[in-house]
Amino acid sequence: MVITIDGSAGSGKSTAARGLAARLGLPYLDTGAMYRALTAAAIQAGTSLDDQDALAEVTQSIPMAVTCETDATRITLAGEDVTDQLRTLEVSQAVSRIASVPAVRSRLIDMQREIGRQLGDLVTEGRDQGSVVFPEADVKFLIVADAEARARRRYEELCNEGRGNAGEGNEVEGVSFSEVLKNVQDRDAIDARQWAPLLASGVAVHVDTTGLSVEEVIDTLVTHVRRITHTAGA
Ligand code: DC
């Protein structure tokens, strides 16, 4: 059984995908981590983020191995496990540039399909899993959450790190809530292009995680998987 989980950043989809994989005892593929790993490689090689050909070359030439466990996806680059180095600010800020390079996408999409073929059963998470990579998946989820709620969380994180303007009338320089909200909305618009075919197909199950606990989200996903796979098997 192949289950795809696509959706916006900060919607809680990674936690949901890991939780669902653990409940069902299936391997978990975090495709964002694959884009992040190639980003880390490009940064380490000193490649300019503006040079698409150089990005394609450096990211094509580095050997990458992906291991899917039920609660994690481990990535090695040229034999070195880089899994714990993929969430740095530097990688997070650069990754969307690398993810927009066609040669990078086609390499990773081929790898993801090969992983799917080898494993047979998996929970895979990203932006294009149900639409492009596994169009034949058994169950497809689209996970969303209210943009204002996500922006509020991010803004509070920035304020705690001393990088937010901490509210009206405050003299402290920093990022305002409306700037954070605009950033979240802009990123959603870019991401949404990737799952547009999923929406058009009408088969994706939409789950809005706003106001739900992690357990409630996972329960919801499990219920849908049981309903859909029982219906399909009946
Ligand atoms: O989910 P994440 O934040 O780890 O994703 C990192 C980046 O990779 C983000 O810019 C979206 C991009 N991405 C993508 O384009 N396609 C995917 N299947 C997964 C992630």
Domain ranges of the chain: 2-216
Q: Name the residue with the closest Cα to ligand 1, atom 10.
A: 96
- Which residues of the chain are modeled with pLDDT < 70? 167-173, 233-234
Q: Was domain 2-216 assigned CATH 3.40.50.2300?
A: no
Question: Distance from CA of residue 146 to its chain's centroid?
Answer: 17
Phi, psi torsion values for 63, nearest 5 degrees: -70, 130
Please choose, from the candidates 135, 81, 133, the residue with its C-alpha nearest in 3D space to the C-alpha of residue 107. Answer: 133
pLDDT at 141: 97
Half-sphere exposure of 35 (CA within 13 A, CB side): 22
Distance CA 147, CA 154 (A): 10
Q: Name the residue with the closest Cα to ligand 1, atom 1.
A: 32
Q: Name the residue with the closest Cα to ligand 1, atom 15.
A: 99
| 8-state DSSP, 204 | P
Contact present, 2 and 119 (Cβ < 8 Å): no
pLDDT at 17: 97
| Structural tokens at position 215 | 């357990």
pLDDT tens by residue, 29-54:
999 999 999 999 999 999 999 999 99
**pTM of the complete model:** 0.91
> What distance in angstroms lies between residue 40's CA and the mean position of ligand 1's atoms?
13
| 8-state DSSP, 87 | S
Bridging pattern class, strands 73-77 and 28-30: unpaired
Distance CA 130, CA 124 (A): 9
pLDDT at 172: 53
> What distance in angstroms lies between residue 35's CA and the mean position of ligand 1's atoms?
6
Distance CA 64, CA 74 (A): 10
Residues in contact with ligand 1 by the CB-under-6-Å rule are 9, 31-32, 35-36, 95-96, 99, 126-128
Q: Could you give the strand order of the β-sheet that contains 28-30, starting from the edge strand earlier in sequence?
A: 28-30, 122-126, 2-7, 139-144, 205-208
pLDDT tens by residue, 91-131:
988 999 999 999 999 999 999 999 999 999 999 999 999 99
Question: Distance from CA of residue 64 to its chain's centroid?
Answer: 18
Q: Name the residue with the closest Cα to ligand 1, atom 6.
A: 32
> What distance in angstroms lies between residue 230's CA and the mean position of ligand 1's atoms?
31
> What distance in angstroms lies between residue 95's CA and the mean position of ligand 1's atoms?
7
Q: Name the residue with the closest Cα to ligand 1, atom 9.
A: 96
